[in-house]
């Protein structure tokens, strides 16, 4: 048992008083496949993270490794092979949790070529998760979203609260939603982990009823610790109990 696991076990009575993520049921943003991006480093780490998420109440995990051609040049085949490896390990260990792999696509030229080739990993009803640059607004993101929709995909924008170039222009978020894109915020943003500005925007998105999905974006044990903190969050509890979230439809 890891030191982190011992700490969680020691705090089990307190955690029992907090709400469980059973009410969310399905996580649709994480990095749990071993050794292919900045998430789980090996199969043992993958199983450890999955075990913690399962113990928190998640019944299904849709993990979404990066496909960012300049940094993480993953392919559908690489992801499927790693998915099969994790599923086999889960079965051998008797850990009963539904597990599926898709991807978190970075909007770049390679992604646009994948749309043309129809070589995209989806989940739910042809949903696809994509992210933008954290540095500056990309001029091609509107074209990419339009092409996705024409091809019959349902785009979900990952962690919009983290795009700080939109923070002073909230209408940008409303415009994205008006164009038929769903928004997924990171659970841990509500801890202030990404900064007070990110937390403030996430709360504003929740209050404006613009959030359709919530994801752990879990990469490592540090994120597991933050998720446990969030089980005391009134605004997260309010969001989960609002009935607006669509995680359960996946």
Domain boundaries, the chain: 3-244
Q: What is the mean pLDDT of residues 166-174?
A: 98
Q: Is 186:206 a contact under the CB 8 Å cutoff?
A: no
For residue 8, is pLDDT > 50?
no
Q: pLDDT class for 48, splitting at 50, 70, 90?
A: very high
Q: pLDDT class for 75, splitting at 50, 70, 90?
A: very high
Share of the chain above pLDDT 70, in %: 92
Q: Is 130:160 a contact under the CB 8 Å cutoff?
A: no
Give the model's pLDDT for residue 17.
Answer: 47
Give the model's pLDDT for residue 188.
Answer: 95
Q: Say which residue the tokens 């989806």 belong to.
A: 122
Residues 6+ apart with CB under 8 A from 21: 27, 53, 56, 57, 58, 227, 231
Give the model's pLDDT for residue 18.
Answer: 59
How does DSSP classify residue 19? P
The mean pLDDT value of the chain amounts to 92
For residue 61, is pLDDT > 90?
yes
Instruction: Quickly name the fold that domain 3-244 has.
Output: TIM Barrel (3.20.20)
Query: E-strand spans in the chain?
Result: 26-27, 60-63, 66-67, 98-101, 104-106, 127-131, 154-158, 182-186, 213-215
Q: What is the mean pLDDT of residues 9-25?
A: 62
Residues 6+ apart with CB under 8 A from 249: 124, 125
For residue 33, is pLDDT > 90?
yes
């Amino acid at each position: 048992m890891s030191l982190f696991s011992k700490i969680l076990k020691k705090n089990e009575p307190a955690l029992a008083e907090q709400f469980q993520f059973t009410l969310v049921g399905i996580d649709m943003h994480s990095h749990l496949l071993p050794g292919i991006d900045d998430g789980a480093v090996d199969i043992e780490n993958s199983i450890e993270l999955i075990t913690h998420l399962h113990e928190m109440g998640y019944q299904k995990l849709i993990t979404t490794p990066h496909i960012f051609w300049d940094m993480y040049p993953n392919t559908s085949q690489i992801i499927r092979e790693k998915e099969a490896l994790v599923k086999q390990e889960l079965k051998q260990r008797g850990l009963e949790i539904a597990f599926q792999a898709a991807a978190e696509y970075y909007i770049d030229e390679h992604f646009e070529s994948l749309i043309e080739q129809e070589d995209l990993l989806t989940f739910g009803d042809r949903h696809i998760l994509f992210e933008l640059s954290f540095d500056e607004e990309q001029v091609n993101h509107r074209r990419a979203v339009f092409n996705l929709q024409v091809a019959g995909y349902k785009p979900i924008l990952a962690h919009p609260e983290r795009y700080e170039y939109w923070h002073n222009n909230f209408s940008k978020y409303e415009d994205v939603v008006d164009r038929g894109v769903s928004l997924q915020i990171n659970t841990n943003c509500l801890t202030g982990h990404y900064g007070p500005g990110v937390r403030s925007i996430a709360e504003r998105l929740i209050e404006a009823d613009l959030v359709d999905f919530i994801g752990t974006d879990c990469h490592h044990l540090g994120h597991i610790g933050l998720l446990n903190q969030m089980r005391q969050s009134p605004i997260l509890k309010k969001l989960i109990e609002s009935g607006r979230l669509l995680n359960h439809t996946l």
